[in-house]
Amino acid sequence: MRLISKSPVNRPRSRSGFTLVDVALATVILVVAAGGLIGTVISTSRLARTTEETADAYEAARAMTEQIHAMDATTVFTTFIGAPNFDVTGLGAVADDADGLVGEILFPSVGGELREDVVDASLGMPRDLNGDGAIDALNHADDYIILPITIRIRWMGVSGRQTADLSLLVQG
Amino acid sequence: MKLPERKHLSGFTLIELMIGTTVVAGLFYAIATTSLSASNTYDETMRRARLVTKAHKVLDRISDEFVEAELTTITPALPGVGASTITYRVPGSLAGSVITWSGNRTIAFQTDAGEFDDGIDNNGDGRIDEGVVLFTIDAGLATQKQVTLCHDVRSLLGGELSNLGDDNGNLMVDERGLVFELTANVLTIRLTLEDIDEDGNTLSKTVQTSVRIRN
């Protein structure tokens, strides 16, 4: 006797679809791609603010440079050594900044004295500051003829700690 | 009776199509957002750069005037007070050791045409009480000439509010967008320019320079 199937639908033996591994792999790839894209969006949105902060920092450094150049060169060191720090509108100080002022004027000095024997590559030191042909450990605050200065702006920006340096050489 | 064979149909179901479309739409949205953000960042950066460049050009022009200016003829602009108008003289001619000085020259902040100093945007350009830098030669004389060095000067210096207080910490109160400050023989000039984009967003930049008066 031949059995006749009552069901009009022939059920296939194999089932189509995705396995768990397929889904997991696709999900991982999608998450990685989305993560990369989101990171790019976040970086781009920070870029404008970071650019503005950097421009403000260099503008402040440039203004300080012009102020120094406009002064009598022989008085620059004594004028700023006691109060070398200044503020910049729009920039916040880093957490460990003692006075909360983001700008700083750096001299080749030790303990308030202008010294030729200071080792600082950014200032081109050690070097002869008073033109006597020798590099010594004396205080040349009153007889320098050249004065290397670095104006440093250090702030806490949206991208973390940022620093901008501007170097100049004042000639007496 | 033999049932007809059901043909196997290939293709996507409606749900698969909907899911795929949603995923692609999401990716395109993310890409478009990133591109738009980058484009806006570029535009804003360029606006700032143009504004700063313009401001520096004006400061350089003003600085050149004061390189030759006679210190004793400069309008007293005391530290902490400042002035938005400055008057000075420069050497006109030299005969032997005798210098003939020019007529009075002035550089001043002046409210822009169509604008009044009333806290209202009178000329409808989106800015309030904005001004110009006006340069005058032979002020008050028949040979007087005037030229506008730049427009778009902010009414008050950057960071300052009209509240009779020193908001920006420069020891001056409600100072104008162009301000001169004379300390000994060093003249400090500060200038704030502002710009408005097509969306009505205001951008302002402040620049500063110092000039040593040598005469």
pLDDT digits (tens, 9 = 90+) for B142-179: 999 999 999 999 999 988 888 888 888 788 888 899 99
The pLDDT assigned to B173 comes to: 85
Top residue of A5, A32, A66, A76 to mutate, by most chain B CBs within 10 Å, is A66
Which residue would you say has higher pLDDT here, B26 or A13? B26
Q: Which of B34, B52, B210 sits opposite A59 (nearest CB)?
A: B52
State the residue for tokens 């409210």: B111
User: What's the DSSP call for residue B80?
Assistant: T
How would residue A10 be classed by pLDDT, with cut points 50, 70 and 90? low
Range in A29-38, A82-91, B72-81 with the lowest mean pLDDT = B72-81
Residues B149, B107: Cα–Cα separation, whole Å: 9
The pLDDT assigned to A90 comes to: 86
How would residue A32 be classed by pLDDT, with cut points 50, 70 and 90? confident
Among B59, B63, B86, B40, which Cα is nearest to B153's? B59
Q: Which of A8, A45, A69 sits opposite B37 (nearest CB)?
A: A45
Among A164, A119, A165, A125, which Cα is nearest to A147's? A125
How big is chain B by its Cα radius of gyration, in Å? 30
State the residue for tokens 């006075």: A99
How far apart are the two ends of chain A, measured CA to CA in Å? 121
**Is the predicted ipTM greater than 0.90, yes or no?**
no
Chain A CB within 8 Å of residue B214 CB: no
Indicate whether A166 pLDDT > 80: yes
State the residue for tokens 């739409």: B25
Burial of A147 (0-12, 13-18, 19+ CB in 10 A): buried
In 3-state terms, what secondary structure has residue B207? strand
- List, as own/partner pairs, every contact residues A166-172 make where C-beta atoms lie below 8 angstroms and the sequence separation is at least 24, other chains included: A166/A58, A166/A61, A166/A62, A166/A65, A167/A122, A167/A123, A168/A65, A168/A68, A168/A69, A170/A68, A170/A69, A170/A73, A170/A76, A170/A146, A171/A73, A171/A145, A171/A146, A171/A147, A172/A73, A172/A74, A172/A144, A172/A145, A172/A146, A172/A147
Indicate whether A39 pLDDT > 70: yes
Query: Are the CB atoms for B51 and B195 separated by under 8 Å?
Result: yes
Q: Which of A47, A66, A89 sits opposite B168 (nearest CB)?
A: A89
Indicate whether A11 pLDDT > 80: no
Q: E strands of A122-159, at which residues? A: 146-157
Inter-chain touch B48–A52, beta carbons under 8 Å: yes
Indicate whether A13 pLDDT > 60: no
Indicate whether A59 pLDDT > 60: yes
